[in-house]
Amino acid sequence: MAKQATLYRMEFSGHICPFGLKAKDLLQRKGYEVEDHTFDSREETEAFQEKHNVDTTPQVFIDGERIGGYDELREYFGMSKEEREGTTYVPVIAIFGVALLTALAINWARSQTIISTDTLFTFIAVSMIVLAIQKLQDLPSFTNQFITYDLLSMKYVPYAYVYPFAEAYAGIGMLAHFPGWVVGPVALFIGTVGAISVIKAVYIDKRELKCACVGGNSRVPLGAISLTENVFMMIAGIWMLLR
């Protein structure tokens, strides 16, 4: 006999609750037959919340006992609650992983080879472009985080607003094989300032900060990853000037 669960969630023209869908999926994957009740309006949702003295939906009931929302359901099944304030390296792993695959694909299309010196060069360029896009999605949030550790931005705040554009310019210029003297100094400058800033903030001042490298409100810790990004830009800048 299938295990039974009752789910109440919002699903109407103006809003479909993502956590309601996740709760339904989790219950089904755990072998439950779900009695799915959807609310057709906010008024109906608010009436349910008032009746059961709850502030949010979805709400899950198993064997007549109210379990709660999606996070509480995860705990009920012994799953760790999703961390929302902790640090994570997932964004940089995703960005650098995709950038590497993109570099390999571009190099293969160009020369029918996978690994060459151009692969590293293309990888750095693609990484810079994607990281710049992450920052430009919400420029004010990026600058709020960036100016707390970047030495030049602390002295001259407008530099924080220029930085993502300079990073995108350097990455695009590298990918397009612009003359080294046009792109190299930009990559070398922002990479050097960034590396010095990270070294001072993390390894000298021992500050525990979040890195703005993947955009504002990032949960990526400032440290080795950020330093590596800036060292790559320095190497790319020197490389372009010497080519």
Q: Per-residue pLDDT tens for 106-154? A: 988 888 877 777 888 899 999 999 999 999 999 999 999 999 999 999 9
Please say whether the beta carbons of 45 and 10 come within 8 A: yes
SS3 100: helix
Q: Are residues 139 and 22 in the same domain?
A: no
**Is 85 contained in some domain?**
no
SS3 61: strand
The model's pLDDT over 75-116, given as tens digits with 9 standing for 90+, comes to: 999 886 544 455 778 888 899 999 999 999 998 888 887 777
Q: Are residues 41 and 114 in the same domain?
A: no
Q: Are residues 179 and 105 in the same domain?
A: yes
- For the domain that residue 18 is a member of, what is the CATH number? 3.40.30.10
Please say whether the beta carbons of 198 and 222 come within 8 A: yes
- Total tally of structural domains belonging to the chain: 2
Q: Which of 17, 50, 76 is the last residue of a domain?
A: 76
Q: Are residues 120 and 42 in the same domain?
A: no
**Is 83 contained in some domain?**
no
67 lies in which domain range?
3-76
Per the prediction, the chain carries an average pLDDT of: 89
Q: Are residues 96 and 197 in the same domain?
A: yes
Percent of the chain with pLDDT over 90: 58
**CA–CA gap between residue 218 and residue 212 (Å, rounded):** 6
- Give the chain's largest Cα–Cα span: 73
The model's pLDDT over 177-233, given as tens digits with 9 standing for 90+, comes to: 899 999 999 999 999 999 999 999 999 999 888 888 888 777 788 888 888 889 988
